[in-house]
Amino acid sequence: MIDLGDWDFELPPEAIARRPSSERTGSRLLCLPKEGGELRHGDFSELPSLLREGDLLVGNDTRVMAARLAARRHTGGKVELLVLSFDGDQAVALGRNLRRVKAGDVLTLDGGGEVRVEELFGDGRVRVSFSSDPVAIMDAQGRMPLPPYMNRDADAEDRERYQTVYAGPLGAAAAPTAGLHFDAAMIDTLDKVGVGFARVTLHVGLGTFKPLEERQLQTKQLHSERYAIPELTAARIAETRARGGRVIAVGTTTTRALQASTPAGATAPQPGAGSTELFLSPPDRLHAIDGLITNFHLPKSSLLMLVACLVGRERLLSTYREAIREGYRFYSYGDAMLIL
């Protein structure tokens, strides 16, 4: 079984990026050769020159919900809801200050409207019904669900910057953060030098960032996340690999979707929708991708373990120690790493 102690490292608090860089492509880029060799320190704006004509980037185009909603009980007590998923006028949310809340209670949203508590699951999650369209309510009064380690409330800037420029289907409770480094001009430049950009969708849940539980370590299964692989993306991946090009995932959530949808021995994913509980850690092999663009992840996290599948635990942690010494910014709004 996995020993979480093997995946720990010390990170100075000042290394945590609490605000985005002034420009999306303004982050630093640490290049780690997949097959061995010296690290290279550079800037994300150099990415087009580091790839080859015929390579294909694949990004996760999920759109982050403005999922944090402030509400009150009939007595005036404050409740916060963090929408995790929705279906019609119903949603599953993570609740705060639920101690006196019971099924059947109606909560008044601070920005107008109501939600009725239909079910409490006992783990902090509740199923609620909205008095009107939950998407419209989130758009009008919700706040972006910044991770707790930023230690601040989301503001107007986060509405734009905690969202990729190529975001499509709504449904994520957290951003696919490796994609935050791209702007439209960067994607256009990549196209001009012969590097393609394709999309998959995986709706990122909070489970991606929650501490791993003993059950997950024993079963090698994570929380379930929904994904969709377009036929065009599957075809472009197959074509890229057939002509010797490299498929480079933009982020660990993209990797998870591609790995879950690509059968063992296959070179391309099966198109269509599905869900996955895939937990990737060494010595698992990431057969669905040839390289990865990723941010720097939390200690003891499943995301850290997934990245280590490409380069091994010791080499990855050594690279992290170097990044800390060199002043790289960590986590969602932090700098990036290219493993290729």
Domains of the chain, CATH where assigned = 4-64+158-339 (3.40.1780.10), 68-142 (2.40.10.240)
Query: Nearest 5°: phi and psi at 242?
Result: -65, -30
For the chain, the farthest-separated pair of C-alpha atoms sits apart, in whole angstroms, at 66
- Give the position of tokens 């700098």: 335
Question: Strand locations in 159-263, DSSP E?
Answer: 170-172, 196-202, 221-229, 247-250
Q: Which amino acid is at 138?
A: M
Per-residue pLDDT at 246: 98
pTM, two decimals, is: 0.94
Per-residue pLDDT at 209: 60
Nearest to 46 by CA among 251, 241, 293, 281: 293
Nearest to 108 by CA among 116, 100, 99, 97: 116
How far apart CA 26 and CA 5 sit, in angstroms, is 34
State which residues of the chain have pLDDT below 50.
none
How far apart CA 226 and CA 156 sit, in angstroms, is 28
Q: Helix or strand or coil: residue 191?
A: helix
